[in-house]
Every structure is written in structure tokens, then in C-alpha cells.
Amino acid sequence: MSSLVKHKHLGLATGLLVTLEAFSQSSYALSCKQNGNIRQDIVLDKPIKVSTANTKPGTLLWRSQNYTSTLQCMGDRETGYGEDAFLYWDPQARMGQIHNSIEVGVNYDGVDIKPISGGKQDTGDGTGSWGSPGTVTLYYYFYIKATGNPPPESGKIEDNNAYSVFQVDGMYGLNNIPNRNFNSYISGLNKIQFISCNPKITVVGNNGSSVNFGAIAQQNALVGKVEKQVPFSIAVNLSDPESGQDCQGQALQASFSSTYPVQDNSVLLPTRDSGFGIFISQDTTPGTPITMNSPLDLGLFNGTRVEKNFIASLLWLSTDPKVGPFTTSANIDVIFK
């Protein structure tokens, strides 16, 4: 995600009189709706269990599914002027009331954003004039992270409020007429409970905690062909005496992410011009790549260990791939379901 800043150069010549006509902010306004709707509610409707040993700042505690919202935006005053559409964070200035042990945020265009009232982000999409709608498409998901601050004494977030995370509006500010603009709300934070459970997570591959593909011949390259597949597994253990006593019966989810370039949101690239990449799949569906940052079930704790098997596949993207040693990596986040 990048902020789009538009610069206009005004040239002045001798003898040229330039006058600026003032418009009030209220004369510029945008209305953005999703098929006529102005509200999206993301509701945490199932318990979210958080390990008390897993509250390091930035630790992912929960994430939503991926959302794609296509909005119809148009001028909301008969002025004849179009505007760029912006995301206004925490438009109701209420998210500061959320307990400071957690951070509720949104990932927009691949970047995690903590909503701070008064902040905004250009979507890069403009709209037509009054009566002439434009289309704005947003890609995002919501997350909850630990902040490192201690949880409530009760272990539970007591919060039944619904918080507007962002509002889609025009570049000149929030529409001063209510119920004209799309707002995305999150609620159900009272489903979050901190428990004493600290499982140990390990990755088991053919090279210790990593996967080694060995030597692969460049002349085998054929675009779209899977050249080699190597199995690995993720194990979650409770055998450590410090694991805690509240893990039994808890369901786990995992998600993969990477700091390396990613193609099609699933293929990890050693470099953008490598000519090949690695995708991860479940062992039951070896040809179906797992989407990065998407949750998948690991299993239920009914004993002392949960293990799930995966496959790493090398995929050719070019008939002329680069040669030499390569490295790419994925991070694995495991949370309670």
C-alpha cells in the first residue's frame, strides 16, 4: 500500500493575474455505498483463546477472512466536481476505548494498519461528478494483535461495542450528512479470553526445520510444471511442563506469510526474476496452493500433540530460470480457533 500524492505545478508569468475561488468543504462531498448498503459488520461470534505466554508485541491473535468490497461512489452535492475516494481510519474516534492489551487493525493492500482517528489513505480511485458514479474496489482483512500490555485481571476482554474501523469518503473530508457512506465495523471483542496454554510449535522437514529441494536441472524448466515436491509437517506439542493446563479441547489454526516476493498470493519467489517459485499445499490436496495469510485448521488438542502434514512444491515460471543456490522462507503463525 502506498499513499498517492498528487502534485500540480502552477506556472506564473508577468502580467498574469491568478485568482483562487474559495469553496467551502461542505460543497465537496462523496457518497460511497456497496450495492446500496452503507455498513459492513465483522462480528467475532466464536470464542478466541489467547495464550498468556503469547502476548509479545505484534503477535497475531486473530485474523478475519479476506474481503473484497466493490463500492459505487458519486458526488453527493450538485457541484459538478469529482473526488478521489479515501479510507478514513476510526472515523468515530472510538477505537481508543479498546483494552490496551490488544490492537485491532486492518490489513489494506498487504500492509497492516492500526487505525488512528484523523488518518486517511488514498484508494487511488477517483469518481465522476455529481450524478456520475465511479467504482472503488477494496481488498482487506482485519486482525487482532497483542500489544505486550497485560490482559484484564479476569482474563476476558469485556467489550460489547461495535467500532467503525474505516469509512470510505472523499478527499476533502468526511461527509457531513450521515448514512451516505460505507463503514466497516468490528464487534464481539468480548469473545477474546486469555488462557494458560503455551504449546511448543516445530517445523519438521527433510533438513531439520527446513525443506531442501537438492539439485534441480535448469533444462527441465517448463512453465507451469511442478518439478519437485517435498513433504514437511507442523507439530504442536504440550509435552513441555510449562505448556499450561488450559490447552485440552482447544482447536488450532495456522496461517503462512512471507517477507519474500509472492506471486498470485501463494507462490514464494527467491527473487522477482528467479523464473521459479515455491508453493505450499496440504498433503491431501498437493496441487492446490495455500493462500498466504489465510487461516486453515490444524486440529483439536485432545492429547499432548497435534501434527499436520504439508507439501512444498517447486513450480517453474519461466523456461529460462536463474541458476545457483536459492533460499526463500515462510512464517507460520498458529492461533486458537
Please report, as a single letter, which amino acid is at residue 168: V
Calculated CA dihedral for residues 51, 57, 63, 66, nearest 10 degrees: -160
Contact 114, 166 (CB under 8 A): no
Give the whole-angstrom CA distance, residue 214 versus residue 231: 13
Please identify, in words, the CATH class of the domain defined by 25-195. Answer: mainly beta
Ramachandran quadrant class, 265 (left: phi over 0; alpha: psi -120 to 50; beta: rest): left
Please classify residue 320 by burial: count the beta carbons closer than 10 Å to its beta carbon, then call 0-12 exposed, 13-18 middle and 19+ buried: exposed
Give the whole-angstrom CA distance, residue 96 versus residue 112: 17
Give the whole-angstrom CA distance, residue 144 versus residue 139: 17
pLDDT at 149: 94
Widest pairwise Cα distance in the chain = 86
Give the whole-angstrom CA distance, residue 73 versus residue 35: 10
Three-state SS letters, 203-241: EEECEECECCCCCCCHHHCCCCCEEEEEEEEEEEECCCC
**For residue 186, which of 252, 79, 107, 291 has the smallest C-alpha distance?**
107
Contact 236, 200 (CB under 8 A): yes
**For residue 282, which of 233, 211, 225 has the smallest C-alpha distance?**
233
Cell of 127: 469518481
- Cell numbers 460505507 correspond to 182
Cell of 131: 450524478
Neighbours of 201 (CB within 10 A): 15
**For residue 154, which of 306, 52, 259 has the smallest C-alpha distance?**
52
Domain-by-domain residue ranges, the chain?
25-195, 200-336
DSSP code of residue 156: B
Give the whole-angstrom CA distance, residue 73 versus residue 196: 48
C-alpha to C-alpha distances, 259 to 59, 293, 323, 335, nearest whole angstrom: 16, 12, 22, 20
For the chain, 337 residues long, give each residue's pLDDT as a single digit of tens: 333 333 333 333 333 333 333 333 444 578 899 999 999 999 998 888 888 877 889 988 888 988 999 999 888 765 546 678 899 999 999 999 999 999 999 999 889 999 999 999 999 876 655 556 788 999 999 999 999 999 998 889 999 999 999 999 988 889 888 899 999 999 999 999 888 777 778 899 999 889 999 999 999 999 999 999 999 999 888 665 555 555 666 777 888 989 899 999 999 999 999 999 999 999 999 999 999 988 888 877 666 778 899 999 999 999 999 999 999 999 888 776 6
- Options 3.40.50.1820, 3.20.20.70, 2.60.40.1090, 3.60.20.30; CATH for 200-336 is 2.60.40.1090
Domains 25-195 and 200-336 share a fold: yes
Strand bridging mode 251-257 / 331-336 = antiparallel
Strand bridging mode 84-89 / 162-170 = antiparallel
